[in-house]
Chains A and B, each alone.
Chain A
Amino acid sequence: MSDVATDVMAIIKKKIRVDKSEITLDDKLRDLGLESLDALELVFDIEEKFNIEIPVNANEANIGGFETVRDVVQAVEKILADKKA
């Protein structure tokens, strides 16, 4: 697993509201009990960690179009790659 994935999953794990010792890339954010305000805090924590801006509008059905943990990891990886380029 990439360092980005490890860091993102560590951040997500701090926010989840269900009793779960490990989370996987396939876990759905909704199943982890992340409600809208938690998701906003999650996005902020990730932005702070990587010093990036994740374009998210809370009016969208899935916040930022993120359904699973993998979606978040991939978005962060893409933003970091674009930043380097």
Chain B
Amino acid sequence: MHRVVITGLGAVTPIGHDVPTFWDELKKGTEGVRPVELIKDPRLNQKTLGEVKGFDPLKHFDDRELNLLDRVSQFAVVCARQAIAQAGITFDGELADRTAAIIGTGIGGQTTADDSFRRLYEEKATRVYPLTIPKLMANAPASQISMYCNLRGPSFAISSACASATHAIGVSYQMVKSGIARAAVAGGAEACLTLGSIKGWEAMRVMSPDKVRPFSKDRKGMIIGEGAAVVVLETEEDARKRGADILAEVAGFGMSADAKDLTAPDVNGMVRALKGALDDAGLNPSDVQYVNAHGTGTTANDRTETQALKAAFGDAAIKIPVSATKSMIGHALGAAGALEFVATMLTLRQGVIPPTINYLGPDPECDLDYVPNTARDAKVDVAISNSFAFGGLNAVLAVKSYRP
């Protein structure tokens, strides 16, 4: 078994199109859920979303390339390039043959699908664009990363709704740990802010009308966002041989299915994933110094996640700071787990816990330390990042500071 370390991070988010900017804004508690610009249709009721504003694809790709890249793949490739540049790895030869590219996405190329269906159903067109299918397929972000970055090992998409990216990073960790792959470029990407998909979310009636207030009293739900994040995982031996700056070590991974309800969260399923991650990492609850929560801002998730943390961590739970990145960037579904994993890694590296913003005060059912509204300096050596998806699919990653 190999120790698995992280040596590169990439992110495209509503509050920054690279990791340093994302981190600065996370510390400031910047509101990334803002008035909708991407969807211009009077039938949309939702007023705010977590849009990645000002993203210019032509800064990263030429026209010809963009014919093959849905917005979700653009985000993914940009993140992968950032992460690989930070890691300082050149992928060629045997290393390229044994490097995985595993990318979570809840939905895939939704903009392409929406555009195509609009032409057919609304504009009554008789034909659609020729590259519609390879742009919209859910594995396009993974495939595009494999091609742009010359990664020739195992590559596929993982789709588990809001847990997709966490599953992708977790499975990549297991592959590098076991030797199936030597390195992995893993994360998640989502770009589903289209009329068709957001009307679907409106119909679920789980979205807050204005802001996301995880764990707060008077919270009114989640809000959909978009973006991507990618990390480079490799064996400790390889990273040390290269003299790489090792950002952190992946300590453990736990996953479970509730097998109960398609949308309602379940304490037992969450607890099994949390305990699974701790067991895999060989950690005790009292070792954990920070939890990056799933924290969607819905009544049900935040109450259930609080119960699960208390059940899994016992007396330690009350002492552990828990914060929700989604308060700032919304819920980027299949990308969320990777965005939050990056935030968790930076918390370890930088000694600052990003806040849960928009917090109005305690809810009797949510009684942990949610780091309300203001970032906090804290020495964090062990942290976990939670993802609990529709479909009852749970995934939890544990990370720790790297010690040789």
Which chain A residues have a beta carbon within 8 Å of chain B's beta carbons? 36-37, 40, 43-44, 53, 56-61, 63
How far apart are the CA atoms of A37 and B263 in the complex, in Å? Answer: 8
B244-268 residues with Cβ-Cβ distance < 8 A to A are 262-264
Assess the A59–B299 pair: CB atoms within 8 A.
yes
B-side interface residues, number (CB < 8 Å): 16
Shortest distance between the CB of B162 and any CB in chain A (Å) = 16
Shortest distance between the CB of B372 and any CB in chain A (Å) = 19
With contact pairs A36-B264, A37-B262, A37-B263 given, residues A58 and B203 touching in the complex (Cβ less than 8 Å): no
Assess the B206–A59 pair: CB atoms within 8 A.
yes
Assess the B205–A58 pair: CB atoms within 8 A.
yes
Kindly supply a per-residue 1/0 record for chain B positions 181-210, scoring 1 wherever the CB is within 8 Å of any chain A CB and 0 otherwise.
Answer: 000000000000000000000011110110
B220 part of interface (Cβ distance < 8 Å): yes
Smallest CB gap from A58: residue in B: B205
Smallest CB gap from B300: residue in A: A59
With contact pairs A59-B298, A59-B299 given, residues A40 and B203 touching in the complex (Cβ less than 8 Å): yes
Q: List 24 A-B contacts (CB under 8 A).
A: A37-B262, A37-B263, A40-B203, A40-B205, A44-B203, A53-B45, A56-B205, A57-B205, A57-B206, A57-B209, A57-B221, A58-B204, A58-B205, A58-B206, A58-B221, A58-B298, A59-B206, A59-B208, A59-B219, A59-B220, A59-B221, A59-B299, A59-B300, A60-B299
Shortest distance between the CB of A81 and any CB in chain B (Å) = 21
Shortest distance between the CB of B222 and any CB in chain A (Å) = 9
Residues of A near B299 (CB, < 8 A) are 59-61
Which chain B residues have a beta carbon within 8 Å of chain A's beta carbons? 45, 203-206, 208-209, 219-221, 262-264, 298-300
Most chain A Cβ neighbours within 10 Å, of B45, B205, B206, B220:
B205
Smallest CB gap from A40: residue in B: B205
How far apart are the CA atoms of A8 and B82 in the complex, in Å? Answer: 56
A-B CB contacts (within 8 Å), total count: 33
Shortest distance between the CB of A52 and any CB in chain B (Å) = 14
Shortest distance between the CB of A16 and any CB in chain B (Å) = 19
Residues of B near A60 (CB, < 8 A) are 299
Most chain B Cβ neighbours within 10 Å, of A36, A43, A58:
A58
Residues of A near B206 (CB, < 8 A) are 57-59
Residues of B near A58 (CB, < 8 A) are 204-206, 221, 298
Shortest distance between the CB of A47 and any CB in chain B (Å) = 10
Residues of B near A37 (CB, < 8 A) are 262-263
Nearest 5 Cβ contacts at the A-B interface: A58-B205, A59-B299, A59-B221, A56-B205, A58-B206
Residues of A near B298 (CB, < 8 A) are 58-59
Residues of A near B203 (CB, < 8 A) are 40, 44
Residues of B near A36 (CB, < 8 A) are 263-264
Residues of B near A56 (CB, < 8 A) are 205
How far apart are the CA atoms of A36 and B263 in the complex, in Å? Answer: 9
Residues of B near A61 (CB, < 8 A) are 299
How far apart are the CA atoms of A61 and B264 in the complex, in Å? Answer: 14
Assess the A57–B220 pair: CB atoms within 8 A.
yes
Shortest distance between the CB of A51 and any CB in chain B (Å) = 14
How far apart are the CA atoms of A37 and B262 in the complex, in Å? Answer: 9
Shortest distance between the CB of B145 and any CB in chain A (Å) = 36
